[in-house]
A and B are shown apart, each in its own frame.
Chain A
Amino acid sequence: MIPAPFDYHAPQTLEEAFALLTSHGAESGDAKVLSGGQSLLPLLKLRLGATGHLVDIGRIPGLEYIKEEGGFLLIGGRTRESALEHSDLVRAKYPILADTAEVIADPLVRNLATVGGNLAHGDPANDHPATMLALSAEVVATSPRGTRTIVIDDFFLGLFQTALAADEILTEIRIPEPPASPLRSGGAYVKLERKVGDFATAAAAVQLTLGAGGAIERVGIGLTNAGPMPIRASEAERSLTGQMPTEERIAEAARLAAAATSPGADRRGQIEYKRQMARVLTMRALKKALARAEVH
């Protein structure tokens, strides 16, 4: 399959990219940013989408990094999933992100696919949106007007729609460092997929912090592929906050999370089945996150 014709541009700097996005994107709405291309190119090949101009940000230096700074984990927008998956820092301190990276598509795709692309694509079936909701991440958008920070809850506007303007590039993801001693933090991402490379039938992301007495001080719960947008299970979060994580409360939170979903029926299953899976996976993710918090 061959995509419909487009012009390809490979800017060397962000400024060049902005100039291209401004002239072709902001003015005529006919440009797309190409990051790893592992979602966008299949979409163009299947002709589910078309664009007049592809602006490849792959040759712009300085957009691939994973580092801690100022109380945040900073991930460059073009950081590959494989880098996240193999990062010692991520594996040690942000296991929810390692869980996520290693179930995205397959290892070959992860050598090209990027974290920023996974978010900017705006697909609720992608795995990072739920993770970033659980982590209360922020997205840094850069444009000729400077940079602005968008909290992840305000980032997804609809199916394939995000808060990014036509001339903005997602340059960084900022994740608050999980509170440590005397508090304890843990996170997990649990995904049900029919086979490697498939989108989630259902998946749940949990990041939580326990107080010194063992009560849940803060919990973030995100759900993948459970509706037209990535879902934050707010009621489930509220039901756990300030509480001891008993079996009953975990079961109740999982039930509330499932109630927040609105999945569609497809070859991955019927609506009721997917809701049940959202419940079960939320429970498992909560337990895994708790277990991880307890060993820290």
Chain B
Amino acid sequence: MSQHEIQVKVNGSEHKATVESRLLLVHLLRENLALTGTHIGCDTTHCGACTVLLDGQPVKSCTVLAVQADGREVMTVEGLEQNGQLHPIQNGFWQEHGLQCGFCTPGMLMTGYALLEQSSDPSEAEIRRAISGNLCRCTGYVNIIKSVQHAAAKLRSDAATPAST
């Protein structure tokens, strides 16, 4: 069984690690880097609680090997907040009650963030489609959709009025 020296940029910081071939990306994040915001839900590629961005694309980190992320960039839920300010997607979930138990939330936030990177004003259908690989057992999804729309509106208004210096 081979060991590998890998270097992964996580939330903007370079990390080096020596990992077994079979170590999953989600375990690298949670156990080696102590980034426990990314959750392990089903562990069978269904639920999306482990969603992170790999080179900007949302993927299920329980179904990626840590060695596959070597030399690449990962963004986790911990990377959303900047300088003590919640990202609009996080604020949207707060304002619109987009979570109850919170277990799916890290995955929902990352999928929602990735969607808003692609589309500034997604329709309800587009949001439902984007989060169709993320399961939530509490909310019935309605408030999650409102949360993403809330964030989209905030991002649009921020873009329309550049922050004064």
A positions within 8 Å CB-CB of B:
1-8, 10, 37-38, 41-42, 44-46, 54, 56, 58, 82, 105-109, 111-112, 196-197
B58 to chain A, nearest CB (A): 5
Within the assembled complex, what's the spacing in Å between the Cα atoms of A44 and B45? 12
A1 pairs with B43, CB closer than 8 A = yes
Report how far A252 CA is from B45 CA in the complex, Å.
39
Is the CB–CB distance between B60 and A54 below 8 Å? no
Report B-chain residues with C-beta under 8 Å of the C-beta of A37: 63-65, 68
Q: Which residues of B contact A196 (CB under 8 A)?
A: 132-133
Shortest distance from the beta carbon of A43 to any chain B beta carbon, whole Å = 10
Chain A nearest CB, measured from B92 CB (Å): 20
Interface contact A58-B68, CB-CB below 8 Å: yes
Complex CA–CA separation, A2 to B94 (angstroms): 34
Smallest beta-carbon distance A193→chain B, Å: 11
- Does B59 make an interface contact (CB < 8 A)? yes
Residues of A within 8 A of B129 (CB): 107
The answer to whether B48 touches A108 (Cβ under 8 A) is yes
Contacts A107-B133, A108-B58, A111-B58 given; does A8 touch B4 at CB 8 Å: yes
A111 touches B63 (CB 8 A): no
Chain A residues positioned under 8 Å from B134 (CB to CB): 108
Are B65's CB and A8's CB within 8 A? yes
A41-B64, A42-B44, A106-B132 given; name 18 further pairs at CB < 8 Å: A2-B23, A5-B1, A5-B20, A6-B22, A10-B67, A37-B63, A41-B45, A41-B65, A45-B43, A45-B62, A105-B45, A107-B132, A108-B58, A109-B45, A109-B133, A112-B57, A112-B64, A197-B46
Would you call A6 and B59 a contact (CB within 8 A)?
no
Provide the residues of chain A in CB contact with B149, threshold 8 Å.
none
Q: Given A45-B43, A106-B133, do A8 and B2 touch, yes or no (CB 8 Å)?
A: yes
For the complex, give the distance between the alpha carbons of A283 and B110 in Å: 40
A54 lies within 8 A of B133 (CB): no
B16 to chain A, nearest CB (A): 17
> With A58-B68, A108-B133 known to touch, is A38 a contact of B21 (CB < 8 Å)?
no
